Amino acid sequence: NAGVTQTPKFQVLKTGQSMTLQCAQDMNHNSMYWYRQDPGMGLRLIYYSASEGTTDKGEVPNGYNVSRLNKREFSLRLESAAPSQTSVYFCASSNRDRSDQPQHFGDGTRLSIL
Protein backbone atom coordinates (compact mmCIF):
# COMPACT_ATOMS: atom_id res chain seq x y z
CA ASN A 1 0.00 0.00 0.00
CA ALA A 2 2.51 2.62 -1.11
CA GLY A 3 -0.05 5.29 -2.09
CA VAL A 4 1.87 8.49 -2.90
CA THR A 5 5.66 8.26 -2.68
CA GLN A 6 7.90 11.32 -2.59
CA THR A 7 11.67 11.39 -2.91
CA PRO A 8 13.82 12.62 -1.36
CA LYS A 9 12.51 13.13 2.17
CA PHE A 10 15.13 15.73 3.06
CA GLN A 11 17.44 17.89 0.98
CA VAL A 12 19.76 20.82 1.55
CA LEU A 13 20.71 22.99 -1.42
CA LYS A 14 22.80 26.06 -1.98
CA THR A 15 21.29 29.14 -3.57
CA GLY A 16 21.34 28.79 -7.34
CA GLN A 17 21.45 24.99 -7.43
CA SER A 18 18.77 23.04 -9.27
CA MET A 19 16.79 20.10 -8.02
CA THR A 20 13.89 17.85 -9.02
CA LEU A 21 11.44 16.50 -6.47
CA GLN A 22 9.93 13.20 -7.51
CA CYS A 23 6.38 12.00 -6.86
CA ALA A 24 4.73 8.74 -7.87
CA GLN A 25 1.32 7.28 -7.08
CA ASP A 26 0.15 3.70 -7.51
CA MET A 27 -3.62 4.28 -7.19
CA ASN A 28 -4.26 4.89 -10.90
CA HIS A 29 -5.31 8.45 -10.09
CA ASN A 30 -5.83 10.96 -12.86
CA SER A 31 -5.07 14.19 -10.98
CA MET A 32 -1.90 15.15 -9.14
CA TYR A 33 -0.81 18.24 -7.18
CA TRP A 34 2.24 19.90 -5.69
CA TYR A 35 1.88 22.02 -2.54
CA ARG A 36 4.23 23.87 -0.26
CA GLN A 37 3.72 24.31 3.47
CA ASP A 38 5.28 27.21 5.34
CA PRO A 39 5.05 28.12 9.03
CA GLY A 40 2.00 30.26 9.82
CA MET A 41 0.46 29.64 6.41
CA GLY A 42 -1.84 27.02 5.01
CA LEU A 43 -0.78 24.65 2.28
CA ARG A 44 -0.52 26.47 -1.04
CA LEU A 45 -0.89 24.95 -4.47
CA ILE A 46 2.15 25.33 -6.71
CA TYR A 47 1.10 23.36 -9.80
CA TYR A 48 -1.39 20.67 -10.57
CA SER A 49 -2.14 18.19 -13.32
CA ALA A 50 -5.82 17.48 -13.84
CA SER A 51 -5.02 14.53 -16.08
CA GLU A 52 -2.08 12.92 -17.85
CA GLY A 53 -0.69 15.32 -20.41
CA THR A 54 -1.95 18.53 -18.76
CA THR A 55 -0.40 20.85 -16.20
CA ASP A 56 -1.61 24.18 -14.82
CA LYS A 57 -0.32 26.84 -12.49
CA GLY A 58 -1.62 27.08 -8.99
CA GLU A 59 -1.37 29.88 -6.45
CA VAL A 60 2.44 30.15 -6.18
CA PRO A 61 4.08 28.82 -9.39
CA ASN A 62 6.97 31.30 -9.75
CA GLY A 63 10.38 29.64 -9.59
CA TYR A 64 9.03 26.15 -10.29
CA ASN A 65 8.36 23.89 -13.25
CA VAL A 66 6.56 20.57 -13.40
CA SER A 67 6.42 17.52 -15.62
CA ARG A 68 3.64 14.95 -15.72
CA LEU A 69 5.88 12.17 -16.98
CA ASN A 70 3.09 9.60 -17.20
CA LYS A 71 -0.07 8.80 -15.27
CA ARG A 72 1.92 7.71 -12.20
CA GLU A 73 4.60 10.37 -11.95
CA PHE A 74 4.54 14.13 -11.43
CA SER A 75 7.85 15.90 -10.78
CA LEU A 76 8.58 19.40 -9.47
CA ARG A 77 11.75 21.21 -10.55
CA LEU A 78 13.52 24.15 -9.00
CA GLU A 79 15.79 25.54 -11.72
CA SER A 80 17.69 28.03 -9.54
CA ALA A 81 16.88 27.54 -5.87
CA ALA A 82 16.34 30.58 -3.66
CA PRO A 83 16.16 30.79 0.16
CA SER A 84 12.47 31.76 -0.18
CA GLN A 85 11.85 28.27 -1.51
CA THR A 86 12.83 26.69 1.81
CA SER A 87 9.69 24.81 2.71
CA VAL A 88 8.06 21.43 3.11
CA TYR A 89 6.72 20.17 -0.21
CA PHE A 90 3.80 17.78 -0.50
CA CYS A 91 2.62 15.86 -3.50
CA ALA A 92 -0.98 14.64 -3.62
CA SER A 93 -3.26 12.78 -5.99
CA SER A 94 -6.98 12.29 -6.49
CA ASN A 95 -9.03 10.02 -8.69
CA ARG A 96 -10.46 12.88 -10.75
CA ASP A 97 -10.40 16.65 -11.02
CA ARG A 98 -13.65 16.98 -9.10
CA SER A 99 -14.52 18.57 -5.78
CA ASP A 100 -15.99 15.34 -4.39
CA GLN A 101 -12.68 13.48 -4.64
CA PRO A 102 -10.46 13.17 -1.56
CA GLN A 103 -6.78 13.90 -2.02
CA HIS A 104 -4.10 11.44 -0.93
CA PHE A 105 -0.85 12.97 0.24
CA GLY A 106 2.74 11.86 0.27
CA ASP A 107 4.87 12.18 3.39
CA GLY A 108 6.52 15.39 2.24
CA THR A 109 9.98 16.60 1.27
CA ARG A 110 11.71 18.98 3.67
CA LEU A 111 13.86 21.30 1.55
CA SER A 112 16.32 23.86 2.91
CA ILE A 113 18.02 26.41 0.67
CA LEU A 114 21.13 28.03 2.14
Partner 1 sequence: KNEVEQSPQNLTAQEGEFITINCSYSVGISALHWLQQHPGGGIVSLFMLSSGKKKHGRLIATINIQEKHSSLHITASHPRDSAVYICAVSKETSGSRLTFGEGTQLTVNP
Question: Coil, strand, or helix at residue 61?
Answer: coil
Q: Which residue's CB is nearer to partner 1, number 51 or number 65?
A: 51
Contacts of 53 (CB under 8 A, 6+ apart): 68
Is the CB of 62 or the CB of 102 nearer to partner 1? Answer: 102
- Choosing from 25, 31, 85, 87, the residue that interacts with partner 1 (CB under 8 A) is 31
Judged by CB under 8 A, which of 24, 68, 90, 111 binds partner 1? 90
* DSSP-assigned letter for residue 60: -
**Cα–Cα nearest to 23, from 78, 92, 85:** 92
Query: Any idea of the CA torsion for 24, 34, 92, 51, to the nearest 10 degrees?
Result: -70
Rounded Cα gap, residues 40 and 25, in angstroms: 29
Rounded to 5 degrees, φ, ψ at 33 are -140, 150
Nearest distance, CB of residue 90 and partner 1, angstroms: 7
- Residue 60 found at the interface with partner 1 (CB under 8 A): no
Q: Is 73 a residue that touches partner 1 (CB under 8 A)?
A: no
At closest approach, how far in Å is the CB of 41 from partner 1?
6
**CB nearer partner 1, residue 77 or residue 98:** 98
- Answer for the pair 56, 1: CB distance below 8 angstroms, yes or no: no
Binding site for partner 1 (CB under 8 A): 31, 33, 40-45, 48, 50, 58, 88, 90, 92, 94, 96-105, 107-108, 110
